[in-house]
Amino acid sequence: MKTAKFILAIVISIMTIQTYSQNSNELRIYYGISDSELLRNSDLDGVGNYDVNNFNEFGIKYLRQVKNNFSIEFGLNLLKSDIEHRVMMWPEGYRTRSEKLEIISIPIYGNYSFWKYLFVNAGPILDFQTTENSIDSQSGIGYSLGLGAKYNFNNISIFLNPNFKRHAVIPFEKENYHQKLTEFGIQFGLGYRF
C-alpha cells in the first residue's frame, strides 16, 4: 500500500508541473515488447535456467520541454512477463515451474530531439517488483538508453522508441550474484502536445 501511495504522489506532482509551465508539454501513452533475460555476473552451478517470455509493458509519460531540443521525461510503467524456471533433477530430468513477474517502474529521462524526427532518451528507472517469485527482487534503481523516431500531426504525435534497459543495477535487497532483468525492447505509442 505504501508503494501505491508513493507512486500516486509522484504522478500527481508530475501532472501539476504543467500548470506552472510556459513551455511545450507532451503526454504520451505507449505499449512495449522486449527480448529479455535474467543475467548474473557469473554462472552458478545447480540454480537452473530462467526464461523470460511474453514480455510486455504499458505506460504513460509526461515530457516537459526545458530548451528547444531538450525535454525531461517522467513516467509510470507497468511491466508484465512470464518466467519459466527449469532445474535439472537427477535422475528424473528437467522440472519446470512457471511464475509471473510484474514491476511498476518510474522512469526519469533526459530526451534530446535532433534532425526533426529523431530523439535519444536516457536516464534512471526506479523499479518496484509487485510479485513474489523465485528470482532475485528487481526492485531498485536501473537505467535505460533509447533511440527513437517521432512524427507530429499538429498536436498529435506517433513514436517508436527502441531501447536497452537494465533493472536492479542498485537493488533495494542485495543478494550474492544478484540476477538483473536486462531487456532489448521497443515502445510505440501516441502523444498529445499542449
Q: What is the pLDDT of residue 19?
A: 47
Q: What is the pLDDT of residue 39?
A: 85
Backbone phi, then psi, for 142, in 5-degree steps? -125, -160
Which secondary-structure segment (H or E) carries 149? strand 140-153
Q: What own/partner pairs with CB < 8 Å and gap ≥ 24 does 115-118 have?
A: 117/149, 117/150, 117/151, 118/147, 118/148, 118/149, 118/150
10 Å CB burial of residue 37 (0-12, 13-18, 19+) is middle
From 87-91, 99-103, 126-130, the region with the lowest mean pLDDT: 87-91
**Model confidence at 98: pLDDT above 60:** yes
Domains, the chain, in order of start with CATH, read 2-193 (2.40.160.20)
SS3 content of the chain, % helix, strand, coil (to 5): 10, 65, 25
> Cβ contacts of residue 98 below 8 Å, gap of 6+?
82, 83, 84, 85
Q: What is the pLDDT of residue 2?
A: 62
Q: How far apart are CA 16 and CA 116, in angstroms?
A: 28
Q: What is the pLDDT of residue 48?
A: 66
Q: Is the peptide bond before 107 cis (omega within 30 degrees of 0)?
A: no
**Model confidence at 49: pLDDT above 70:** yes
Average pLDDT along the chain: 86
The residue behind cell 509526461 is: 62
Q: What is the pLDDT of residue 24?
A: 84
> Cβ contacts of residue 93 below 8 Å, gap of 6+?
none
**CA-CA distances (angstroms) from residue 136 to 13, 47, 167, 181?**
31, 12, 11, 10
Query: What percent of the chain clears pLDDT 90, i.e. is strictly above it?
Result: 64
What is the arithmetic mean of pLDDT over 15-27? 62
From the list 60, 79, 28, 33, the residue with the least C-alpha distance to 186 is: 33
**Model confidence at 46: pLDDT above 60:** no
Q: 18 falls in which pLDDT band (50, 70, 90)?
A: very low
10 Å CB burial of residue 8 (0-12, 13-18, 19+) is exposed
Q: SS3 of 45, please?
A: coil
What is the arithmetic mean of pLDDT over 82-97? 76
Tens-digit pLDDT profile for residues 29-42: 999 999 999 887 65
**Single pTM value for the model:** 0.81
